[in-house]
Amino acid sequence: MAGVLSNAATTSKSSAMDVSPRIVWVLLITALFLIVGCAPAPTESVDPEFERLTKRAERVEIIRDDFGVPHIYAKTDADAVFGLLYAQAEDDFPRVERNYYWAIGRLAEAEGEDALMSDLRARLYMTTEDAIAAYESAPAWLKSLCDAFADGLNYYLATHPDVEPKVIREFEPWMPMFFFEGSIGGDIEQIPLGGIRAFYGENNDDSVARTATLEPTDWEPRGSNGFAISGEHTRSGNAMLLINPHTSFYFRGEVHVVSEQGLNAYGAVTWGQFFVYQGFNEHTGWMHTSTRVDFIDEFIEDVFEEDGELKYRYGDEVRPVEVREVSLKYRRISEERDGLAERSYTTYHTHHGPITHSIDGRWVATKINWDPVNALRQSYLRSKQDGHEGFREMMDIRTNSSNNTVYADSSGNIAYYHGNFVPRRDPNFDFSQPVDGSDPATDWQGLHTVDEVITVLNPQNGWLQNCNSTPFTAAGSFSPKKEDYPRYMAPDPENFRAVHALALLEDIDDVTLDGLIELAHDTRLPAFNALIPGLIDAFDRQSVSTESLAAAIDVLRGWDYRVASDSVAMTLAHFYASRFLREGDAPNELSRMDKLIYLGSETEDQDRLSNLAATLSSLESDYGSWNTPWGEINRFQRITGDIVHPHDDDAASLAVPMASGRWGALASYGAKRFPGTKKLYGSSGNSFVAVVEIGDKVRAKTVLAGGQSGDPNSPHFDDQVTRYLTKDFKNVAFYRDDVLARAERTYHPGE
């Protein structure tokens, strides 16, 4: 299928050498010597830095298997990281680079003035100088990994002069300090840019409250599913793990990284990071789902001016506001890409953190987890644990703030951790709202221990699940009790994905890897059980109807609430529910699941029927008939992600027998219209998916949305598309003999 679904031209390339100036100079001199027929002496022709990197590359072996997955082997962890970053750059350097210029606050240099507030947000929490200091304070072993990160990417650029970075022409070892969690933006991205823009923008208005953080009700849920199943329910008697992140497509690559220092991790890595974020080793498997634990707080500061200086009150004290100057560059959209302008901002900090917005003229500081050295320690050490005891000890670092963790191991243990970084607070205050920063009683009082957070280990039912949902149903009737914990520890609502998972897991038995794949792709959509019967009842209670309305109701009446490509009922239900969520009259404070239940049971009959009539009219207008099978509308089209190559209704695409996680689809497929399209194209949801069995040996199957490579000319750009759509997972080559048997290419970096 290589190239069939591509709707993107090859990324433009430049013949200019895009490496550090010293390497460019040395290579030009070398070329000159070759032209005149003189072989230069090694000391004159070889840059010492390039020679060092080349020797490092010789210590690393990369084996690409028949799906292009890189298996990196080295003696040391640091050399393995060097090879891992080199391999990631081979697969999708543009995404690696973008993740970093986003994280370090240089997005505007690529995307223009509109991105300045994103960059300012990054610099509010850490400057380049802060990042360098953090790197210098790191333990020697972690610094060596950061050095290897920079070496791997810089060696890739040095050996690929046709690759033209947009922003970063030389990577630095302090850069991972900005990018220390596996899910980019897990913490900082929750701070709205609207408030920062209102406070720090050129037309700032201190009376403007921050932009509301509520998402539109018809947005695709962002998160993941994780299941852990003990051996009592599996055919082999070994524990099993479902790793099912729901991210934007092509957000993570699949890797295997091995060293002789105990590293042997396989799974998904966010482009540009040097640790496996969701995956497994020989003895343990770990899956992260996004948490709603309250780990971010807003403090309303009492700021005033005294003797020409800004100060703020804190109890009986008067403290100075820390004032900094931040200069940011941005690309002038109307000029050539390298035409940069610069803008400076004066920023403000209290001991709570940076001022991020104002409410009714009062400055607000937003405090988040920002401990990059320990966060990187935890992210990396997670992948090297050989059992639950070590994994539990690693969790004591307590810097994994935006994630829940679903765990399984070769000893048969299964576990669930709801969050990890949980600030201890005075329960007399409502921390779901901004609190008075001048009152010392509102300050964080350290962190909860891991024993104090919501944890489940080896429940009697033999299974665990989390679908970005409440932990109080994680193990069915053996779940923790809500009344035993402070509210801020688990404000997560229930959702239809978890309802779906619980119904399936209650009856599991004799599970195999293939059976777990089927379980994770069950086609039932429980949201429509709550929404559609009320519509049918409303129709049955009315006395007059149109022919089309009656025909549509007949289709829905015979539906089993399962998604399929040939289902017209799925088309009707999707657009009916989407429209009702946007325009139906339901209380704002309800969760999405409760809104759907409300719309299905508490609204007036006429509201339901008029919404269906409007839905039929829209379908007629957009697709020629409301009687259109779902697969003709819901499509997969592989693109590079470059905005100049958008989705196109006239280009090749494939029908997708999946649905949105909004409706309780476990195999979430977040599809939407793009500019100029009528059809829906998937852009998020199931991305990297793995099922893992952990016993005396590891067995696993995986699939990617699209393929391993971001290059449309690669055979691995779209070689997994059909597998993705048909649940035909590939077998993982984990042990070296299996890797060699499926080797497509073996090489050292730079070859």
Res 32: pLDDT:
36
CA atoms within 13 A on the CB side of 576: 30
Bin 436: left if φ > 0, else alpha if -120 < ψ < 50, else beta. beta
- Cα–Cα distance measured from residue 727 to residue 721, given in angstroms and rounded to the nearest whole number: 10
Burial class (CB in 10 A: 0-12, 13-18, 19+), 374: middle
- Cα–Cα distance measured from residue 209 to residue 188, given in angstroms and rounded to the nearest whole number: 18
> What's the distance, Cα to Cα, between the start and end of the chain in Å?
27
Strands 455-457 and 414-417 turn out to be antiparallel
Res 522: pLDDT:
98
For residue 365, list its beta bridge partners: 299, 355
Q: What one-character DSSP code corresponds to residue 471?
A: G
- C-alpha 516: how far from chain center: 23
Q: Scanning the structure block, which residue is given the tokens 């691995």? A: 716
CA angle 232, 235, 239 (to 5 degrees): 55
Q: Which of 126, 530, 69 is nearest to 256 (CA)?
A: 69
- Evaluated on CA atoms 188, 491, 528, 658, the torsion sign reads positive
Res 337: pLDDT:
53
Res 544: pLDDT:
81
Helix (H) or strand (E) holding 342: strand 340-350
pTM over 0.85: yes
Q: Which of 269, 265, 277 is nearest to 88 (CA)?
A: 269
Res 14: pLDDT:
35
Rounded to whole angstroms, what are the CA distances from 354 to 124, 189, 350, 402, 403?
A: 6, 15, 6, 20, 23
CA atoms within 13 A on the CB side of 58: 6
Q: Please write the tens of the pLDDT for every residue from 581-617.
A: 999 999 999 999 999 999 999 999 999 999 999 999 9
Res 333: pLDDT:
79
Bin 246: left if φ > 0, else alpha if -120 < ψ < 50, else beta. beta
- Cα–Cα distance measured from residue 265 to residue 299, given in angstroms and rounded to the nearest whole number: 40
Report residues of the chain scoring pLDDT below 50.
1-43, 206-215
Could you give the residue ranges of the DSSP H alpha helices within 677-742?
721-726, 736-741
Burial class (CB in 10 A: 0-12, 13-18, 19+), 458: middle
Helix (H) or strand (E) holding 255: strand 252-259
Burial code (b: 16+ CB inside 10 Å, e: under 16) for 61-100 equals bbbbbebbbbbbbbebbbbbbbbbbbbbbbbbbbbbbbbb
Q: Which of 471, 493, 501, 463 is nearest to 668 (CA)?
A: 501
Other Cβ atoms closer than 10 A to 449? 12
Res 219: pLDDT:
62
- C-alpha 114: how far from chain center: 23
Burial class (CB in 10 A: 0-12, 13-18, 19+), 293: buried
Q: Scanning the structure block, which residue is given the tokens 């300045």? A: 116
Res 534: pLDDT:
97
